[in-house]
Structure formats: C-alpha cells, structure tokens
Chains A and B, each alone.
Chain A
Amino acid sequence: MRYAETGFNLEIDLSRGNIERVASDPMETELYLGGLGTNAKIMWDRVPPEVEAFSPDNLLIFAAGLLCGTPAPGCNRTIVTTISPQTKLLAFSMMGGFWAPELKYAGYDKIILSGKSPDLVYLWINNDTVELRDASHLQGKGAIETEKLIQQELNEPKAQVLSIGLAGENKVYFASIEQGRSSASRGGIGAVMGDKGVKAIAVRGTGDINIAQAEEFLGMCNEVLEYIKVRDAKPIPGVMPILAGLGSPQEMKTHDEKWHTESFMWGNSRHRRKGFWTEEVEKEWTETLENARKRLISCYNCPMKCGATISIEGLPTYMMKCFSKLTYTMAAMSNLDFGLKIAQRATEYGVDAFSTPQVMAFALELYENDILSDEDMKGMPESNDEKFFWLLDRIVRREGIGDALANGTYWAAKEIGKGAEDYAHNNIKKHEQMPLKLSMLNPIYFLMYCTGEKINITQIEGQFPQMPFPTREEREEFVKDWHQVPDEKFKQYFLDWELRGENSFPYYPTVQMCCDIVDWQEKMHYIDDALGMCAGLSSFPLKPPYHIHNFPKLISWGAGIEMDEAKLSKAAKRYRTLVRAINISRGMRRKDDKPPANHWKKRFPELEKELLDTYYKFKGWNRESIPTKESLQDLGLDYVSDDFQNRGIYSDSNDTLPDETSENNGKNKVEEVKNEG
C-alpha cells in the first residue's frame, strides 16, 4: 500500500485527447519526495532544454504535495511546474486553497499535461471518471466566473476548480492560475495553460488517503495545533506586526500599513513616500477595508486566515490575500479603494499581482519620458486611476501597446527600444521583483536574491530575523525558545549580530555564516514545496510549528518512508540541485545570479564576489554556478553530470543564453529603506 500519496498520476496528451492513469515509482518518492521534487525529475527526464514554453512538448504539471490530503494542518499546496515564457527557465509557482487535497481524494498525485488541445477545453476529474470537455462557452470568462459556471454545469458545488482568465488565454507572460482564494502567479504559468488550450481543471474526490503510522502522525498534528495556539498568543516583539505571527503576511487583517507604504517603493518601484501614513490616510483606508472585507478565510485544513472575501458595491465578489492588497495602489500612487477595485478585475483576468502593477507603472513612465508616444497610448483616459484600468484591459487583450507590455517589462523594453531598458529596472532573471530599494547591502539577502530560483524573495526568505535586534537582552530573549534552528550555532550568529559597529552589515554575518543561514532558509522552502506544506506555517515565519526536527517524523509516520534529518536534507538538496541543473542546461549562469542593480545603494563588489564564490562552493557548484560532477554523483544525480558532459556544459561554461541576458543598470533615482521584504 502507498501511504500519503496515491501512487498514481494522470497523463493527459491534449493533442490527441488521450488520458491515462499511470502508477508512479515509489523509489522516486524516496529520492525526490513529491510535489516540486518529483515534478523536477519529470521535467528533467522529459523536457530537454531545446523545448520552449509554448512548445507542445513543454509539460504543465500540477502536483499535490506528498502530505496533502493527510490531516497535517496547513498542508494544501498545489505545485505547478513548467517552463516559463518570461524567464525561459523552470517555473514552479504554487498555490494554497483547496485543490490539491481534492486531487488526492480523487486518487491522483499529479496531473501531467502535454501537447496542445486544438480547441479550448476543460478537464473534469470525478474520481475514476476523467474527461476533457468543451470550454468554448467559457472563452473570455473571468477566472472566478469560470469556477462558478463549471460547478453549476457539473452540478457539483464541491468540485474544486482552478482556472485561467483572459490573460492566460491570451498568453500574457505574467498570467496566473486562480483557484478561489489562491493563485499560482509567478513565472507566467497561466500563459502555458492558455497555450495548451486548457481553461480549467475541476476535481472532485471521495477516496481515502492512508496514513502509515496513524496514532503517531495524529499526535504530531495535535502538537502542531497546540503550538499554533501558543505561538499565536505570543507574537515576536520588535518586528513588523505582519511578521510577528504565523501565516502568510496578515495583510487582510492589518489596517496599519505604515511600514509598507513608507518603506516600499511607489510607482514603477521609484518613489519612497516618507510621512505618507497620516491619521487621515489610516482612517480612510481602514474604512475602505472594513467595508469591503466580508470575512477572513483560510485554506484547506488550516486554522490561520490569511485571505479575505472582498465585496465592493457594484462589483462581483472576489477573494484576496497577502500583498496584492497594496501592489496596485502603490504602483498607481493611488488609494486602497482603487487597489481593491482594480484587483477585482485583475483577479478575474488572472494576472500576477506583483508583475502586473509594475508593468503598468513602467508603461506610464515610458510615456512620461517620451519613449511611448501619444499614438501608442491613443485612447488613454485622463484620470490616473482610469489609466490603470485602461492599461490592464489593453494588456490582457494584447491590444495596441498592450501586446508588447503583455510580455513583461524585460521583453517589452527590448521590443520598444529607445532606451526603454533603463525603465525595466526591477527585474531578476527577467522577472519583476518586489518594489524595494535600500541603502546598505544585506549579505544574506544578496545571496537569496542572486540564487533563489523561484525568483521571488518571499519564496526563499524566512526563519532567520531580517534585522538584528537592538539590544543583547532582546536577542537573548529571542533565542530562548528557538528550537527550530538546525544547529545551535545559528543562535550565536544572531546573538552577536549588531545594528552598528563591527558585527553589522555588510561584513556580519560573515560570509560563511551567510551561507549557512541562506542554505537553511532555502532548504525549508524546498521541503515545503515537496510536501505541499504552506510556507506560512513553515519556512516563512519566525519560529514556525514545522521545522527540520519534526518534518522527518511527519514524513516517516505519514508516508511510511524512513526519514531522518540527514536523509531529508539530502533529498531536498537533490531536487534543489536538479532545479539548478535544469536551468543551467537552459543557459543560466553566474552572470544571471544578481539582484536588480539599484536594489542597494551601497555595494561591495569584492565582498559580493566572495559571497557568491563561497556559497557556490558550499552548494557544490563551480565558479559558474554549475553543480560539479562530484556533488552530482554524491546526490545520485550521475545522469545529470553525464548529460552536462555530453552537452559540453563543463568545458565551455562561459557561454551565454542565446538571447542577450545582461540586465540593465536602471536609473538609480530611488531612495532607500532598511528592512527587506
């Protein structure tokens, strides 16, 4: 018997309309766990580097994490994996909500889509009955609208539906996949779904998921719930309120937005607005949110409530979470009322709430600087807020200038030319980043920005405080109940870390300490992405309920795979390395591992070089960031090193991507703040 996982994947060839239920190899689960881990293995095996995002040979994989469907609280992630049209690298965005457990109950761990459907279809999985159904009547419909329509036509209110909106259908490079309160947004995976001609996937499952060691497993689930209660009652003092507790950043709960509005950048990640958060603004925004927010809501089997139902008079209801609350508002230099309204339309269109606002602000900057002409912007309304609605409509329809913009700032700038590249200044690996511009180099964040392959800072940071605490007493207090550390040395790193003086940025934490810290932070995210665990209860917050010491037991008891910390760390390293290997085979190299040039004002080239050199070595990569033969063999990834050998990747490791990859230097006309995102 298979435990925690079902042992079956659905293989769907969209070109031929062929559907197969295929048993998976339990050995692969041992080595790569599940979720992202086994997705990466499939991508390596079946999608060679020549295959582009919009090729029928690209796969689009929807995986429920290894422990999804078990009673482990907060374990509900769907990990979507494909090749990104924007970065041309591996995209592995994930989403919460309710879809992944339902897939498990229907009897599958993954859905693997290949080929392209000639006509728009949706997939309906009802336990053993799986069919592709005509979706022509859903063409152009909003993502949430689609979900409702499908539930109605199937007469299955309990079916969980993920879908794309118009943006995905039109292959917008930052199109998302939406599912109720959640979305998988980064890397343009919605565009790949649209390219494959799949509007939605509806799932209903009423089967069992087995647990290997039932009493023990349940005991740990109870411990986790108990800990959540304790931790909830004890927010971490001295850090931003949204970082003090558990869960994703509690944006739907919080009214106090001083930190975001005064520390993050507005417009096209340009302007810092110190003193913005006045009493008046607070009053207005509080009222806006109170009126619009109907209820705080959670994901499957999780006591936190990171999302909210938003209902604005005259507009259809939608659901929201995290920082999407402010991204549109800040890009448009507007207010929260505008932000909530445009997010409604954006959610139905199905677009990423990080990239989209930036792309629009970028377009307006180009216009203000005469790079885009009146002709390009013909028909644009006068009012500032209306301009953004107008741009959003153009982009998702790929009309006029919207066609170029729909490819994101990097590709749009190349197409527009005339110096537009300088305005696409906030990218890493062609992907729009959090709007932050800071002063002093933060060596920990430097490594994370450079090497994080999800290319999104929130998907690698966590566990370790972002900033030192001012006094030794506070630090001593903090480390007292910090049992999540993989090693006692991390406590010492933190205890000795000061705001000023010798033990402060950029030379403290030392290079070696930074390697340890970043490796720990990243490892926890990779484990979450294989298990399907929400980062909000694990890798993201300080002192989370799940950590490196209890995960091995959870896996042993849940999935029946013998596990300890060393074995788990090695498995995570294995598929993490495989992710890098896939990207290396696609041309990614050291030159691509860098933050936006203007992210920090005070830079230290020698230190940065040392940081990267040391970290690469620590990870088992060579100077060019290519995993070495020895490290690959140690992980049992000989097939990767053989392939690298055959392709000559080791010998000419200075080659570049076919297209020009140097990120522009941006204009440094930004001010700086202290905390990272």
Chain B
Amino acid sequence: MTFLPKPKLHHPDLQKNALGYTRRDYEGPVSTLCAGCGHDSISAAIVRACFELDIAPHRVAKLSGIGCSSKTPTYFLGASHGFNSVHGRMPSVATGANIANRELIYLGVSGDGDSASIGLGQFAHAMRRGVNMVYIVENNGVYGLTKGQFSATADKGAKSKRGVVNTDEPIDLVGLALQLGATFVARSFSGDKAQLVPLIEAALKHQGAAFIDCISPCVAFNNHEGSTKSFDFVREHNEAVNALDLMLPREEITADYAPGTVELVTQHDGSVLRLRKLHTDYDVHDRVAALTYMQERHAAGEIVTGLLYVDPEPRDLHAALKTCATPLNALDDAALIPGSAALDKLNASLR
C-alpha cells in the first residue's frame, strides 16, 4: 500500500452539476485498499450519487468505525469533514453529531465486523432511534483489516480461504434493520453500480434511518470457491426484487412500463422513487412480509437485493426529541443561559 499524491487536473469540459461542482470535487485521495476491493466501488458509487444529487460536499459529514471499509471515507468527499472513530461505535458518534446539527447529511460507513460483530448493539440502537442518516455496511463476511477472520455475517457452511468452515449462524443486518424500525432498508452489491447508485441516492434523500447492506467482496481474503461473499457467488445468487430510479422534483416523471410493473413512491422531500418491479408481488411497504420473504429466500440460497422497505414519511430522532429548528450547535449564549435573575429566583427557592 503506497500513498500517491493525486493530480487534481480538472479537464476543461468535465461535466458540472447544478452547483457547479465536477465529479472530481466529490473524490478524495487515492485509495490504499487492495486493487479490486469491493469497497472502492462503493466509494465510487457514493461519489456519483452525491454529484448527481447536487449535494454540496461540505454539507456531508462522513463517519465510520474501524476496518478496511471504515477507512474508505478518506477516499471520497475530500471536502467533507470525516470522522474515523473506534471499532463498532460509529453509530453513537453519528447519533451525537446528528443531534448537534440537524442540517447536515450524515453518511455512516461501516463493515460487517464493525456493525454485526463488535458493534451490533450500536447498529441496532441507531436503527431503532431513527437517526436521520445513511448507514452503509460494506459486507464481505470477513474482517479484511485483520486478515480474513470470519465476521458475524459469514454464512453457516461458508469456507474461509484457509479451508475452515464457519459453524455459526449468520447475522442478517437487513432482517434486524427491518425489525428495529429502520424506515429505508436495501441490499445491494458493490459489483452492480446500476442498482447501487440509485439506492444510495434515494437513501440520501430519505429523512430517517436509511440502511444499505452492500455485499462487497474482499478480494484478498474472501473471494474464493466456497465463500458465499465472492464476486462469482453473489452474481450467481443475486435476486433483485426491483430496480430503482430516483427522480428529483425538477425532473419530469415518466413511467413507460406495463401497468402494475412500476410503482412511484414520493418521499417527504418531494423526491420520487420509481420502482420497476421485478417480483410483481413484492411490496416495499410491508415490513412484516419483507422479513418473512428475506428469511424464505435466504433459506433457498438466494441473496435478495433491491429496495426492500421504505416508509416515505418517517419520523426521525429529532421529531422524538422535539428539538428546535435551529441546530443545537448554533444556539447562542442568549438562547442557552438563563441568566442571573433566574438564578436569584432559584436561590430564593432553595432556602
């Protein structure tokens, strides 16, 4: 792994978005991950989603735990503040950050070890609190950074590179997110940009806890025969329930598909999710059915992907806390300090 200074050469006719930023403005320093690592594709998808949504890079706060996956926020959105915290605890840091300033976009990146092993509790509680954030788990079934030990999402019967067979049941973060009240739940694959980018976009537009479990093969330690998180295995077993396009309010909404095969879901901010149904009877609004479906298909050996559940009118943590419209970190002394007169009155009541 080397550190290369990255040339910031802006091609004169590089396409600009509505804010005048080019794709480059959403990138970061060159990644130090292994060549071919699934995580780098997810970083690229994040860059593209933010560019296409015209998000000002500095209005995003990116947070992560520890792991190869958690290192990636260094490699995208170089003009955003980032916080690489401690192993498994990104959710609490993101929760605190979100509470402090409700106006920024919070993007949490984590790994399967980070979120399903050491940080399972924090993951669960962030979901149930409805923290308004995008929470992406870059799921490779192993601890990449510590060299290939099984993580808690490794499938039972999956074989490690050294030939060890995993005997423990896997933790399905999608199932947990559904059960714990996440209001946007999706699964995708780092090798399927066409599916992943719109999902990240829709999640960024979602005003509640948005969770994306993204299978992201580790080429160094978990891409072999016998792994259920390898590129080949995922490609073979991927069953998408729908295909998503995100349409912003400014775009003309078109739906030139056969009736019953397309559903339009309008989110709170006006963005529209255009869902092409690949499994006609799959209902993205039915949390309970989604849970059953996930378990059935997992038992049948499929990896179900797509937008799995969405509540377009979520209530987030700020609604529960009834926090004021002004971000808490912007309240001035006058708003915060009751002053000496109030204190004198209080003193009098304590005698």
The answer to whether A and B assemble together is no
A residues apposed to B, CB below 8 Å: none
B residues apposed to A, CB below 8 Å: none
